[in-house]
């Protein structure tokens, strides 16, 4: 196969690694030279059942010979089936299908505005978001994102977003006005450095939103579909939000996004108010349904909890051994961050050389998003490689 070293035809929007993955199975991927890697990235939180999971693959193969796409003007039993499953798992009532996390958040933003303006008044459009958050790359979602670097060069940005420090309920209260329609947040900030929200913050925020008739919208694009050890991260906090957004892990790598809402909120959309050509087509919904059924079949949630404990314990041990390099370990389920005392890009390169793929979240955090089916022996392999790299850094 051809491996392009000069980037001639594709726009230069990614700082790509010097790795060309050509094949994947379970937690292993292979590059074009045949070198195997333990994939602790899951393609950035996507391939939760591992690469090419046989149960999903079989259903997709069947669907490939049946129907790929019929458009959203036809009846769509596969969307109904996956929608029913997602509402049962989440406690929300209705779903809108799209193709990515940004689109799911864009749909949530539109729904929140439309709901507020239909049920309250035209001036209620403002959405409160948090510093270090990440919600996507469309104009509205990058404006919602609490990181300056994703906004540079894109002025004028849409009006109606206000960002406050993460975890600070008083700040939310201070910026709430009669223009506020919703709060949008991640309960574990992913791209922003793997920061789980505290129980106290979430409980107080929930109460504030309820008492002020503000929609609470949880971005579950990275945390959803079992990543944190529950189907959705809000289930750790004993709350049910008004709106949630999903993507990454839902289709095992087949692009699909979803936005779910309570019935009352969802009723703000009517035919023509939102839509997409590809959203939830027959292949995407087949991948989504097969992924959820396989996760249930394999009892993935309890496996995630057990592996999370095993991984976090091992990492905390290493952190004690290398305090000059590791500042802290944090995470929820199999969304784990190692905060280092310096830049992490060198650690990522060293791990790649030793056959392990790791991610970063910001300049100083190593982020681990392994497949949810990772086994103890593979965690041992990861920990061994981390130790070797840290040891060589001590010299
Ligand atoms: C929490 C969160 N929201 C939204 C997005 C955007 O998703 P996508 O890249 O599918 O548009 C991401 C992507 O990393 C994310 O982590």
Longest Cα–Cα distance of the chain, Å, equals 65
Nearest CA to ligand 1 atom 8: 101
The helix/strand/coil state of 25 is strand
User: Does ligand 1 lie within 6 Å of residue 133's CB atom?
Assistant: no
| Best residue for ligand 1 mutational test, from 41, 43, 97, 102 (most atoms within 8 Å of Cβ) | 102
User: Does ligand 1 lie within 6 Å of residue 42's CB atom?
Assistant: no
- Give the nearest ligand 1 atom to 102 CA: 11
Ligand 1 centre distance from Cα of residue 87 (Å): 21
User: Does ligand 1 lie within 6 Å of residue 105's CB atom?
Assistant: yes
Element housing 31 (H / E): strand 28-31
pTM: 0.97
Over 90: is that where the pLDDT of 393 sits?
Answer: no
> What pLDDT was estimated at residue 296?
98
- Give the nearest ligand 1 atom to 190 CA: 16
Do the beta carbons of residue 161 and residue 151 sit within 8 Å?
no
For 358-383, the pLDDT digits (tens) are 999 989 999 999 999 999 999 999 99
User: What is the rounded average pLDDT for all residues in the chain?
Assistant: 96
Average pLDDT of the segment spanning 385-393: 94
For 52-95, the pLDDT digits (tens) are 999 999 999 999 999 999 999 999 999 999 999 999 999 999 99
Ligand 1 centre distance from Cα of residue 301 (Å): 22
Share of the chain above pLDDT 70, in %: 98
| Best residue for ligand 1 mutational test, from 107, 221, 257 (most atoms within 8 Å of Cβ) | 221
Do the beta carbons of residue 45 and residue 369 sit within 8 Å?
yes
Dist. CA 364–CA 328, nearest whole Å: 11
Q: Which domains does the chain have, with CATH numbers?
A: 21-53+299-392 (3.90.1150.10), 54-298 (3.40.640.10)
Average pLDDT of the segment spanning 30-45: 98
User: Does ligand 1 lie within 6 Å of residue 219's CB atom?
Assistant: yes
The helix/strand/coil state of 361 is coil
pLDDT band at 1 (very low <50, low <70, confident <90, very high): low
- Give the nearest ligand 1 atom to 105 CA: 4
Ligand 1 centre distance from Cα of residue 392 (Å): 34
Determine whether 148 is exposed, middle or buried from the number of CB atoms within 10 Å of its CB (0-12, 13-18, 19+).
exposed
User: Does ligand 1 lie within 6 Å of residue 190's CB atom?
Assistant: yes
Ligand 1 centre distance from Cα of residue 108 (Å): 13
Dist. CA 259–CA 279, nearest whole Å: 11
């Amino acid at each position: 196969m051809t491996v392009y070293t000069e980037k001639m035809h594709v726009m230069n929007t990614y700082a790509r690694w010097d790795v060309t993955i050509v094949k994947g199975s379970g937690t292993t991927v292979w590059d074009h030279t045949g070198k195997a890697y333990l994939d602790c990235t899951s393609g950035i939180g996507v391939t939760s059942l591992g690469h090419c999971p046989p149960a999903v693959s079989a259903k997709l193969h069947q669907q490939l010979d049946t129907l790929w796409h019929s458009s959203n003007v036809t009846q769509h039993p596969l969307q109904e089936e996956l929608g029913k499953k997602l509402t049962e798992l989440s406690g929300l009532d209705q779903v809108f299908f799209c193709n990515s996390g940004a689109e799911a958040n864009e749909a949530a933003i539109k729904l929140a505005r439309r709901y507020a303006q239909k049920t309250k008044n035209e001036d209620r459009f403002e959405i409160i978001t948090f510093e270090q958050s990440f919600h996507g790359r469309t104009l509205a979602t990058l404006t919602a994102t609490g990181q300056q670097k994703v906004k540079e060069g894109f002025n004028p940005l849409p009006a109606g977003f206000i960002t406050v420090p993460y975890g600070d309920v008083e700040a939310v209260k201070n910026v709430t006005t009669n223009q506020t329609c919703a709060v949008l947040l991640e309960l574990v900030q992913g791209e922003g450095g793997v920061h789980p929200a505290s129980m106290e913050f979430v409980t107080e925020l929930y109460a504030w939103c309820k008492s002020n008739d503000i929609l609470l919208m949880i971005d579950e694009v990275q945390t959803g579909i079992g990543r944190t050890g529950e189907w959705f991260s809000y289930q750790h906090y004993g709350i049910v939000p008004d709106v949630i957004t999903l993507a990454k892990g839902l289709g095992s790598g087949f692009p699909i996004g979803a936005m779910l809402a309570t019935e009352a909120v969802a009723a703000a959309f009517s035919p023509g108010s939102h839509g997409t050509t590809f959203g939830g087509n027959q292949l995407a919904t087949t991948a989504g349904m097969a992924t959820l059924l396989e996760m249930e079949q394999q009892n993935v949630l309890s496996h995630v909890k057990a592996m999370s404990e095993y991984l976090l314990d091992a990492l905390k041990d290493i952190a004690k051994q290398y305090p000059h390099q590791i500042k802290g370990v944090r995470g929820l389920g199999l969304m784990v961050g190692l905060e280092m005392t310096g830049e992490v890009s060198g650690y990522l390169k060293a791990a790649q050389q030793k056959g392990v793929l790791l991610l970063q979240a910001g300049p100083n955090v190593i982020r681990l998003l392994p497949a949810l089916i990772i086994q103890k022996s593979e965690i041992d392999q990861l920990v061994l490689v981390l130790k070797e790299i840290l040891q060589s850094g001590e010299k």
